[in-house]
Amino acid sequence: MSYCIPDYDRITPFASSDTCRNSVQLPVEFNRETRTPIGAFSYAELESFTGMTKTAETLTDIVSKNFAALDNVQAVLAGESDDVLHVWIMVRDWTPEARKEVYAVQKSILKRLRGFNFDFYVIDLPEGTRPEDSVSGIPLIFNRAQQDSTSAHSREQ
């Protein structure tokens, strides 16, 4: 995928994105977000076209960072199918407080990324279980469970 730096001196400045599948030119304005047409890019090709963002952030980066902020979330896995990003959130204890926190993050993601389709699953991660063993074939995008078991193992020695 290649990008052209917006030409702000043109009468109608634009950003151009060219992938193997698509070529899109988007009108841009300084310090304003530009949206791509729905379906123009796959999740893996999603890039941010803002005048404020220096580094592109993928959907899985956004999802991972948001759920990683919750102490009760042990792991997050995400995989794309058609135009849906399926997200598995693995929690240590599924308490009413944890439920509220997870649902609030889901709502925040849905609001921030309107136009994208998500399917969220929340499941328990029993202690000592690897996230990859609970949901096979789905990429692991955040893993606190591994970090916790490693640090507990280090403390024991």
> Please, what are the domains in the chain?
2-45 (no CATH), 59-156 (3.30.300)
Q: How far apart are the first and last CA of the chain?
A: 48
Has residue 22 got a pLDDT over 90?
A: no
Buried b (16+ CB within 10 A) or exposed e, 38-70: eebbebebbbebeeeeeeeebbbebbbebbbeb
Asked if residues 90 and 125 have their Cβ atoms less than 8 Å apart, the reply is yes
Distance, CA of 74 to CA of 78 (rounded, Å)? 14
| pLDDT, mean of residues 71-85 | 92
Banded model confidence at residue 127, pLDDT cuts 50, 70, 90: confident
| pLDDT, mean of residues 25-32 | 66
More confident residue, 38 or 97: 97
- Following CA atoms 105, 106, 109, 111 in sequence, which dihedral angle do they give, to the nearest 10 degrees? -110
Q: How far is CA 124 from the centre of its chain?
A: 20
pLDDT (0 to 100) of residue 18: 56
